[in-house]
């Protein structure tokens, strides 16, 4: 599924993007996303990286393929991702929506 198709599907299921950490270097890219299902308070997060041969979400068919859990688990996953990109913000605010941070 293409990224735009995934975002449309996620929004139709009541998910809202909380945070996107992304970066592009030549032909390579990296992405970490956190989504929330506001009705349940469940967080979903996704990490992927690749080259120009394919893009984010291309190998995803459904949100249930993501890791998911409570906010503290999503923050811990972000910090694990951040270990490779130490210039990302040290803290994130899960009460905000559609925050984009660049790598």
Q: pLDDT tens digits, residue range 85-95?
A: 877 888 889 98
Looking at the structure of the chain, the number of domains it has is: 1
Instruction: Look at residues 47, 37, 40 and name the one whose alpha carbon lies nearest to residue 17.
Output: 37
Spatial separation of the C-alpha atoms in residues 98 and 31, rounded to whole Å: 14
Structural domain including 73 reads: 3-102
**What pLDDT is stored for residue 103 in this prediction?**
57
Average pLDDT over residues 8-23: 89
Whole-number pLDDT of residue 60 = 86
Give 53-73 pLDDT, tens digit per residue: 888 888 888 888 899 999 999
């Amino acid at each position: 599924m293409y990224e735009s198709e995934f975002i449309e599907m996620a929004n139709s299921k009541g998910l809202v993007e909380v945070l996107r950490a992304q970066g592009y270097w030549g032909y390579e890219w990296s992405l970490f996303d956190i989504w929330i299902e506001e009705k349940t308070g469940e967080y979903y997060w996704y990490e992927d990286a690749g080259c120009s041969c394919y893009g984010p979400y291309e190998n995803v068919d459904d949100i249930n393929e993501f890791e998911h859990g409570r906010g503290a688990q999503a923050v811990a996953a972000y910090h694990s991702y951040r270990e490779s990109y130490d210039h990302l913000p040290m803290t994130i605010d899960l009460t905000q929506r559609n925050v984009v941070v660049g790598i």
